[in-house]
Amino acid sequence: MTADSARTSLKREFRRLFHAMDFISNRYLARKRLPAKLAAAFYDVYQQLGVAWEYLALQCRHWDGYRKVRGGKLACRICGTIKGTETRWLLLPAKGQKIIGRQTRPNSSHVFPSKQAATITEDSIQFHGATLHVSVHNRYESRLFRGKHDITIADDRIVRLLENGMECWLDSYSLHLKLPPHGKPIKPLPYSAFVWELPKRKLQKFPVMLEYDTRDRLQGVVILRPMRRGTKKGK
Ligand SMILES: [Zn+2]
């Protein structure tokens, strides 16, 4: 469908929808001495049409601009959406690339009083079984230890991808791959060491390969996935 025909058919849909809303409103809701049960039923229909309006408006690109309405606000000439209001739903194409939001980064050198005040983006999506979290925040004062110590949490952009108990964590300072824990979680936290610090007998237990180029620059890290007994591919 071209943009022009989408606009034309959307305009027609909106005309019909607004007509239906006016019809219910004028014919039933505005009527005096309507039995309460009937009034409630028509009120429900009106609410449902309102939901349809909200969904339909997601398709509108507000091609014809805005007109002034009551309270000095601007409303779209086609769908009636007030300019600047946040939409509660997203419209995504079933086929092709889906785009939600834009890449945000810390945008202030100010130290915010709380995590909430410092947060720019905090969102997640379940996508075909994988989970993706994006968290972007400015600097803030930590409430750790009930505020007894002054700790400032650095600004950061953290992207986490979770799949089958594994996690890929990317922030401004590191890339962290976490495998599912073997059996019960072990306390304290796992040890960590640089590769050259470990003896060969230990390294041979880790299915990790380092990829590097002819100039000895790190290109990537490969971890061969430990297959659990009884797990089949595709599950
Ligand atoms: Zn519109």
9 closest CA partner among 48, 49, 56, 54 = 56
Q: Is residue 70 part of a domain?
A: yes
Question: What spacing in Å lies between the alpha carbon of 93 and ligand 1's midpoint?
Answer: 18
For residue 229, pLDDT beyond 90 = no
Q: Is residue 24 part of a domain?
A: yes
Question: What spacing in Å lies between the alpha carbon of 64 and ligand 1's midpoint?
Answer: 8
Question: Greater confidence, 185 or 171?
Answer: 171
For residue 230, pLDDT beyond 60 = no
**Domain-terminating residue out of 76, 99, 132:** 76
Question: What spacing in Å lies between the alpha carbon of 126 and ligand 1's midpoint?
Answer: 29
* pLDDT confidence of residue 145: 67
Domain holding 42, by residue range, is: 3-76
Question: What spacing in Å lies between the alpha carbon of 62 and ligand 1's midpoint?
Answer: 4
Question: What spacing in Å lies between the alpha carbon of 95 and ligand 1's midpoint?
Answer: 23
Provide the 10 A C-beta neighbour count for residue 168: 14
- Give pLDDT tens digits for 6-60: 899 999 999 999 999 999 999 888 888 888 899 999 999 999 999 999 999 999 9
Both 184 and 126 in one domain: the answer is: yes
- Give pLDDT tens digits for 191-201: 899 999 999 99
Confidence tier at 77 by pLDDT (50, 70, 90): very high
Q: CB under 8 Å to 87, separation ≥6 — which residues? A: 54, 57, 58, 81
Own/partner pairs for 44-47, CB < 8 Å, 24+ apart? Answer: 46/21
* pLDDT confidence of residue 225: 78
Q: Is residue 200 part of a domain?
A: no
- Give pLDDT tens digits for 120-157: 999 999 999 999 999 999 999 987 766 567 789 999 99
Q: Is residue 93 part of a domain?
A: no
Q: Report the run of H or E that residue 56 belongs to, with start and end.
A: helix 36-57
Question: What spacing in Å lies between the alpha carbon of 41 and ligand 1's midpoint?
Answer: 29
Both 68 and 125 in one domain: the answer is: no
Question: What spacing in Å lies between the alpha carbon of 76 and ligand 1's midpoint?
Answer: 5
Q: Is residue 58 part of a domain?
A: yes
Question: What spacing in Å lies between the alpha carbon of 47 and ligand 1's midpoint?
Answer: 20
Q: How many domains does the chain have?
A: 2
Question: What spacing in Å lies between the alpha carbon of 60 and ligand 1's midpoint?
Answer: 4
* pLDDT confidence of residue 235: 43
Question: What spacing in Å lies between the alpha carbon of 123 and ligand 1's midpoint?
Answer: 26
Question: What spacing in Å lies between the alpha carbon of 125 and ligand 1's midpoint?
Answer: 26
Q: Is residue 213 part of a domain?
A: no
Beta pairing partners, 175: 170
* pLDDT confidence of residue 9: 93
Question: What spacing in Å lies between the alpha carbon of 46 and ligand 1's midpoint?
Answer: 20
Mean pLDDT value across the chain: 89
Mean pLDDT across 167-176: 94
Both 70 and 121 in one domain: the answer is: no
Q: Is residue 92 part of a domain?
A: no
Q: Is residue 82 part of a domain?
A: no
For residue 159, pLDDT beyond 60 = yes
Both 122 and 172 in one domain: the answer is: yes
